Chains A and B, each alone.
Chain A
């Protein structure tokens, strides 16, 4: 079945450093979505990418969707302590099921 791999599993950065998490699907996706889960909370939708090669920005966050629509990345510039949490990618195929990656846990040292 469809698999979505996400790396790294865990990253600990100094405040102000950049952070990137990568997502790779075994199959071509119709869209990719990113979610953030704060410690003790529930995942919250951040963004959806649909087009091949699409790039979207939300303040310090930059999201990319690969040309082949099988991979994606989330890059955070100059991390802050408020960025702490687990970031999940979720791959959508043509249908109503999303397959989530295992998530990347981000810790930020102040």
Chain B
């Protein structure tokens, strides 16, 4: 069966520090992968999506970037974090049929 793993689960980072969140999917090949952000008590904002290796689309301008060095690996990064980057980051993948998204367990980022 397909599974999605995301880490770290929580982190506290100072303003101006770098960020790297990693996501891997198992049990499938060539998945569509997504990064979402959820501010506290808010909805889901699509940040990036990828349809294949090194194929990344950005939905919103920001100081974050994404990379997909391998088929089932999706990385969210930042060179210098801002306070406004705090939130709950969710990696997700799209099933091949039915257009359904499955989310990882999420990463809580607090920028201080």
Contacts and interface: CB of A to CB of B under 8 A. Distances in A.
A55 interface: no
Interface residues of B, number: 20
Interface string B21-57: 0000000000010001000011110100101000000
A96 B99 CA distance: 7
Contacts of B103: 42-44
A12 to B, nearest CB: 14
Nearest to B104: A42
A99 B51 CA distance: 17
B43 A45 contact: no
Given A96-B32, A97-B49, A100-B43, A42 B99 contact: no
A42 B90 contact: yes
Given A42-B104, A42-B106, A96-B94, A48 B99 contact: yes
Interface in A60-110: 88, 90, 92, 96-103, 105
A31 B100 CA distance: 10
Interface of B: 32, 36, 41-44, 46, 49, 51, 90, 94, 98-106
Interface of A: 6, 30-31, 33, 41-45, 48, 88, 90, 92, 96-103, 105
